[in-house]
A and B are shown apart, each in its own frame.
Chain A
Amino acid sequence: MNDTVQPPPLPAHPKLRALFRMQWEPAQDAFVLLYPEGMVKLNQSAAEILKRCDGVRDVDAIVADLEQAFNATGLARDVDAFLAEAARRGWLE
């Protein structure tokens, strides 16, 4: 799709839209995002970020949680970039 819609603002407490469901697929050896008649295969970092989009955590909390879980620092930029893309694709509310 070549939608040229203005990107929606990122929700303060992002959560996966009800339309979407994320689940582990052994046959794909990956997490996938399912929606009406479609599927997106997620890489590991995308899946780890989306798992934490629970509508309770804000973006800072998501970053802090990831940095703790993976014993890493400086993930904020990657997380911001991914969430912006996820919002553009209409995955978040």
Chain B
Amino acid sequence: MTDLSTSVSPQAQAAADAAGAPQVAPPLWLLAELTYRCPLHCVFCYNPVDYATHRDELDTAQWIKVLREARALGAVQLGFSGGEPLLRDDLEQLVDEGHRLGFYTNLITSGIGLTDARLGALKEAGLDHIQLSFQDSTQQLNDFLSSTKTFDLKKRVADSIKRHGFPMVLNCVLHRYNLPHVEKIIEMALALGAEYLELANTQYYGWAHANRDQLLPTREQLEQAEAVVERYRRTHGDRCRIFFVVPDYFENRPKACMNGWGSVFLGVAPDGAALPCHTARNLPGLTFPNVKDTSLREVWYDSDAFNRFRGDAWMKEPCRSCDERTRDFGGCRCQAYLLTGDATNADPVCDLSPMHEQVVNVVRRAAEAGDAREQPVVFRNDANSRRLASGHTDHNDNGDPR
């Protein structure tokens, strides 16, 4: 999952104020990242590159406590993610609890391990929806990018998901290698009976950031793909809703990341760290509360980590006086840090940012490099994670080649 497409009513805050409730609206989205373990090794995974140093996992009772506390706060959407959540054999139990509590339950999976038996058990437990990832419409590229032989299996899993009567979102991360296949990817989604297709242009965090120069597409590729998407929306929009997650390096305004920090999203990492965004772990100077010893109410309303970039008091210029600050919240804090070294800066995707040139340079360099890539892609695996965690590939983002 990369996009927070939740439609959130701006009236929620006003209603909370009128009721004398806390000024901060409750979380709506709980993302339970059950494990960082994964059978796939995708080059664009958003998990932290040092995931191998976070081995610890919450147990079933601890997760159940998290679900109950989040629901009591008002969260309605529950995502089970990872890593690959199917690697937890208590997944069915957690889905059952989430369903019983009244969450809309979403499983975000590679499909590996999603047998008919487990699909039946998940249906029984009350799972509402499955988001299945594909890496491409071709076996060759799907299997290369994930460093596995999983394409045919995923297609069989998609059939089983539909046979069990689940709504299905197909998710495909887009980048220079598969953007030319967008038409085939859409045809595949239609053939598999997906109700939604999320074409998620790569967001450059985690492993995707480590592989950014290899993955960045050209503007022409994006424009062509978007034209294809528009065409299919007109002809097939009633069968399958197609989302095209904005390729923000190519934009002039930043994305409204997480609908604002500490606004709707509450993530819990496998080890219990509570995160205001999936990639917030990369930000220095923030201590993330752990659900093992902190209630979700304290996490959401009182913790420094969740309050640090809430609202707009933290903003510097040009955001502070910008009319658009309530629309995009200054963009993404993680991106501001990754590209400018300071998380309180404007997201440099914004062309009002004095650092916007950084992004322009990265895009230009990728376009100039064409297909001549000097560095091999770095697959997400334990060995690479340990290597990256020990800082062997420190690099800067000032537009210099690594």
Residues in A whose Cβ lies below 8 Å from that of B11:
41
Q: Nearest-CB distance from A21 to chain B (Å)? A: 6
- How far, in Å, is B75 (CB) from chain A's closest CB? 8
Contact status A19-B6, CB under 8 Å: no
By DSSP majority rule, is chain B's interface helix, strand, loop, or mixed? loop
Residue of A nearest to B27 (CB): A27
A27 and B73 contact, CB distance less than 8 A? yes
Contact of A36 with B by CB under 8 A: yes
Given A8-B238, A38-B7, A40-B7, verify A19-B19 contact (CB < 8 Å): no
> Interface code B200-226, partner A: CB below 8 Å = 1, 0 otherwise?
000000000000000000000000000
Q: Which residue of A lies closest to B241 (CB)?
A: A90
Give A39 to B29 CA distance when docked, in angstroms: 10
Chain A, interface size category, equals 20 to 34
Question: Residues 157-190 of chain B: 1 if any A CB is under 8 Å from the residue's CB, otherwise 0?
Answer: 0000000010101000000000000000000000
* Contact of A38 with B6 in the complex, beta carbons under 8 Å: yes
* A1 lies within 8 A of chain B by Cβ: yes
Chain B, residue nearest A36 (CB): B129
Complex CA distance for A25 and B6, rounded to whole angstroms: 15
Q: Does A32 contact B (CB under 8 A)?
A: yes
B234 near A1: Cβ-Cβ < 8 Å: no
Chain B count of residues within 8 A CB distance of the other chain: 35
- B102 at the binding interface (Cβ < 8 Å): yes
Which of B1, B74, B241 touches A27 (beta carbons < 8 Å)?
A: B74
Residue in chain A with minimal CB distance to B73: A27
| Residue A23 at the chain B interface, CB threshold 8 Å | yes
Instruction: Tell me which of A8, A28, A37, A38 contacts B74 (CB under 8 A).
Output: A28
Map CB proximity to B onto A23-46 as digits: 1 under 8 Å, 0 otherwise. 101111110101111111100000
Q: Is the CB of A37 within 8 A of B241?
A: no
Q: Is there a chain A Cβ closer than 8 Å to B64's Cβ? A: no
Q: Is the interface of A mostly helix, strand, loop or mixed?
A: loop
Which of A4, A25, A35 neighbours the largest number of chain B CB atoms within 10 Å of its CB?
A35
- CA gap between A30 and B196 in the complex, in Å: 26
Cα–Cα distance between A39 and B12 once the two chains are bound (Å) = 12
Residue of A nearest to B9 (CB): A41
Q: Is the CB of A39 within 8 A of B241?
A: no
Interface centre among A6, A19, A23 (most CB of B within 10 A): A19
Cβ-defined contact, A39 with B8, below 8 A: yes
A41 to chain B, nearest CB (A): 4
Known: A3-B233, A19-B167, A36-B131. A27 touches B6 (CB 8 A): no
Q: Which of B27-48 contact A (CB under 8 A)?
A: 28
Is B286 an interface residue, CB under 8 A from the partner? no
A5 on the interface (CB 8 Å rule)? yes
B237 CB within 8 Å of chain A: yes
A34 vs chain B, min Cβ distance (A): 4
Say yes or no: is A81 at the interface (Cβ < 8 Å to chain B): no
CB distance from A60 to the nearest CB of B (A): 25
Please, how many angstroms separate the alpha-carbon atoms of A1 and B230 in the complex? Answer: 11
- Which residues of B have CB within 8 Å of A40? 7, 9
- Which residues in B have their C-beta under 8 angstroms from that of A37? 1, 4-6, 77, 79, 106, 129, 131, 169
Contact B233 A39, beta carbon cutoff 8 Å: no
**A8 contacts which chain B residues (CB < 8 A)?**
238
Q: Which 3 A-B pairs have the closest CB atoms?
A: A27-B74, A5-B237, A34-B104
**B-binding residues in A (CB < 8 A):** 1, 3-6, 8, 18-19, 21, 23, 25-30, 32, 34-41, 90
Given contacts A28-B12, A34-B128, 8 further A-B contacts (CB under 8 A): A3-B233, A4-B234, A5-B234, A6-B238, A18-B167, A27-B74, A34-B76, A37-B169
Give B residues with C-beta under 8 Å from A.
Answer: 1, 4-9, 11-12, 15, 19, 26, 28, 73-74, 76-77, 79, 102, 104, 106, 128-129, 131, 165, 167, 169, 195-196, 233-234, 237-238, 241, 243
